Amino acid sequence: MTPAPTPEAAASGAPTPPPSKKPAPTLDSKGPQRYKMLATWLLFIVVLVVCFVGVDADFMALFSEGARSNMGRILGEMARPDWSYASHIWKPMVETVQIAIAGTIIGSVLAVPVALLCAVNIMPKKIVSIPARMVLNLVRTVPDLLFAAIFVAVFGIGAFAGMLALVFFSFGLVAKLTYEAIEAIDPGPLEAMTASGANKIQLIVFGVIPQALPYFFSYVLYTFEVNVRAAAVLGFVGAGGIGLHLDQQLNSLRYDRASTIILLTLVIVLLIDYASTYLRRKLL
């Protein structure tokens, strides 16, 4: 039982095996094939040039006097973090993690029924699974910060908007990964149970859940990692957490304090990442 390796999962490392080795492509020099290749590259280069002109990308600006002095000043101030400020940010830091925990758990719980509806081996009726998948894809097109910006406008500034944004985001991610895992489970036990007259609920409880549960937990942990990172910047749109303080310090040009926040956030995120990766290894 190995679910198809989704790049999301592959990006995080543990939950799915690495992509299978493909046979090495041979260097074919067949005529039409080569022209097609050439045309593709030409098209690609044209698109790139148009893009560079479009944003008037000025790489010289990056190395200009002004940019260098600005960057140099900021990096210089950031190199000396204001550690005395660290005691002020523990509370928002804890709040950030809490937002991530609450958002992940609520979103993941909501994802379970939808994942079951999406999986074709549980819900063979296309009329249910296809609309369910469409809803899921729709939810997944909206980035977490965008959800947060909208919920801040609706419910006002604060942690609630951030949590709600993460609920939606986790829901989309966990439901998609889980339904793919459910579709990849071993059909043997399900067939045996159907043959001996089990109903749908029994099928799910005794056939699907034991097989899919480790994957589900692994995806929840992965989503939690993503959510902690997201929660750290939700404050930029006013949705609570440490990002609010970071935004304030950046706006008041206190780069030494901003650097303290960034460094501590990185430490917390790395710790959670490593803990979660370790747990996921043990799960699967």
Q: Does 157 bind another protein (CB under 8 A)?
A: yes
In whole angstroms, the minimum distance from the beta carbon of 60 to another protein comes to 10
Kindly tell me which of 19 and 113 has the beta carbon lying closer to another protein: 19
- Looking up tokens 């549960």 gives 213
Q: For residue 33, state whether it binds another protein (rule: CB under 8 A).
A: no
Is 182 a binding residue for another protein by CB under 8 A? The answer is: no
What is the phi/psi pair of residue 18, to 5°?
A: -65, 155
Residue 149 found at the interface with another protein (CB under 8 A): yes
Q: Output the smallest distance, CB 223 to another protein, in A.
A: 14
Give the one residue of 86, 123, 150, 203 binding another protein; rule: CB under 8 A: 150
Map the footprint of another protein across residues 194-233, applying CB under 8 A. 210-211, 213-214, 229, 232-233
Residue 270 or 275 having the CB closest to another protein: 270
- 166 Cβ partners below 8 Å, 6+ apart? 99, 100, 102, 103, 104, 107, 144, 227, 230, 231, 234
Residues 130, 189: Cα–Cα separation, whole Å: 25
Nearer to another protein, 128 or 279 (CB): 279
Closest distance to another protein from the beta carbon of 279 (Å): 10
Q: Which of residues 85-144 bind another protein (CB under 8 A)?
A: 94-95, 97-99, 101-102, 105, 137-138, 141-143
Give whole-number Cα distances, 74 to 53, 81, 242, 253, in Å.
Answer: 29, 11, 20, 9
Nearer to another protein, 119 or 230 (CB): 230
In the complex, least distance from residue 102 CB atom to another protein, rounded to whole angstroms:
4
Hey, CA dihedral for 27, 29, 33, 37, is it positive or negative?
Answer: positive
How far is 3 from 93, CA to CA, in rounded Å? 35
Taking the complex as a whole, the smallest distance from the CB of residue 220 to another protein amounts, in Å, to 9
Q: What is the CA radius of gyration of the chain?
A: 24
Number of residues lying near another protein (CB under 8 A): 73
| Residue among 218, 240, 260, 264 that touches another protein (CB under 8 A) | 240
Number of H helices, E strands in the chain: 13, 0
Do the beta carbons of residue 12 and residue 225 sit within 8 Å? yes
Nearer to another protein, 17 or 113 (CB): 17
> Using CB under 8 A, which of the segments 80-88, 111-119, 172-180, 265-273 binds another protein?
265-273
Quick count: other Cβ atoms within 10 Å of Cβ 130? 12
Q: Rule CB under 8 A: say whether 57 interacts with another protein.
A: yes
Asked if 271 touches another protein (CB under 8 A), the answer is no
State residue 161 phi and psi, 5-degree precision.
-60, -40
Of these, 51, 79, 205, 275, which contacts another protein (CB under 8 A)?
Answer: 51
Min CB(74)–another protein separation in Å: 6
Among 152, 147, 153, 185, which Cα is nearest to 167's? 147
Q: According to the binding rule CB under 8 A, does residue 180 interact with another protein? A: no
Neighbouring residues of 250: CB distance < 8 A, sequence distance ≥ 6: 258
